[in-house]
Amino acid sequence: MKCIVIAPHPDDELLGVGGTILRRKSEGADIAWMIVTEISEAEGWSAEQVVRRSAEVEKAAKFFGFSQVFHLAFPAAKLDQVAIGRLVQRMSDVFKSYEPEEVFVPHRSDVHTDHRIVFDAAASCSKWFRYPSVRRFLAYETLSETDFGLIPAAAFRPNYFIDISNFLQQKINATKIYESEFGDFPFPRSCTSIESLARVRGAASGFHAAEAFELLRARE
């Protein structure tokens, strides 16, 4: 199986799909990582922040064992200033070259504008007659983003659960890669929050720990 995880920002892949990535790898899947945005000094970030982020991405790619990493390099937190057509075209090029079967995207109700825009662009790559390789399209939840969405009609409604019982501790360990993005509980992006959510999703699905998704489209 070929899977692609679409992350608006580095660390979204860990928060939403970290355990599933590790499980899929153990099952022999080929997994690619699409990072939609990046930070740069030109956009107001310090040289130290840029260097640290680059190192984090490199460490994450190695930890998860991604076969390919696609850097779209749009400016972080400024996707609302980018023509959606440009974003769709870049994603389309990746889909046509990599030909994923399973696609993971951020949820449309996430509070971060970048997440919502990435979802909309990725949805354009779900048409079977343009991207026949795609078999399953799933939206993941991101701590500090999905849980802060305020649109009731578009709230995250998990209907697909993946058992990560054997991979939860590895997922938690991976938070060390992004130390600047994590804090102490009750901060949403914390080890305690990650474990608590995994246990709740596991209880809802009959596993000791799970990641939850909205299955948006599937065909066999």
pLDDT at residue 192 in the model: 98
Please give the structure tokens belonging to residue 75.
């400016």
Question: What mean pLDDT is predicted for residues 109-119?
Answer: 97
**Which tens digit of pLDDT belongs to each residue from 125-165?**
999 999 999 999 999 999 999 999 998 889 999 999 999 99
Task: Give the pLDDT confidence score for residue 152 in this predicted structure.
Answer: 87
CA dist 67 and 87 (Å) reads: 22
Q: Which ranges constitute the DSSP H helices of the chain?
A: 12-26, 47-64, 84-98, 113-123, 168-173, 191-205
Q: Is the pTM of this model over 0.95?
A: yes
Calpha distance 153→218 (Å, rounded): 22
Q: Specify the pLDDT at position 151.
A: 87
Give residue-wise pLDDT tens across range 79-113.
999 999 999 999 999 999 999 999 999 999 999 99
CB 23 within 8 A of CB 169: no
pLDDT value of position 12: 98
Q: Assess contact for 209 and 201: CB atoms under 8 A.
A: yes
pLDDT at residue 164 in the model: 98
- Domain 2-218 fold is Rossmann fold (3.40.50)
**Arithmetic mean of pLDDT, 191-201:** 98
State the pairing for strand pair 136-140/210-218: antiparallel
Q: How far apart are CA 173 and CA 34, in angstroms?
A: 22
How far does Cα 27 stand from its chain's mean position? 19
List the domain boundaries for the chain.
2-218
CB 137, CB 91: distance < 8 Å? no
Residues forming beta bridges with residue 2, ordered by sequence position: 30
pLDDT in tens, 44-79: 999 999 999 999 999 999 999 999 999 999 999 999
pLDDT given at position 180: 87
Confidence (pLDDT) at 155: 94
76-81 long-range Cβ contacts below 8 angstroms, 24+ apart = 76/9, 76/37, 76/38, 76/39, 76/43, 76/114, 77/37, 77/113, 77/114, 78/37, 78/43, 79/8, 79/36, 79/37, 79/113, 79/114, 79/117, 79/118, 80/113, 80/117
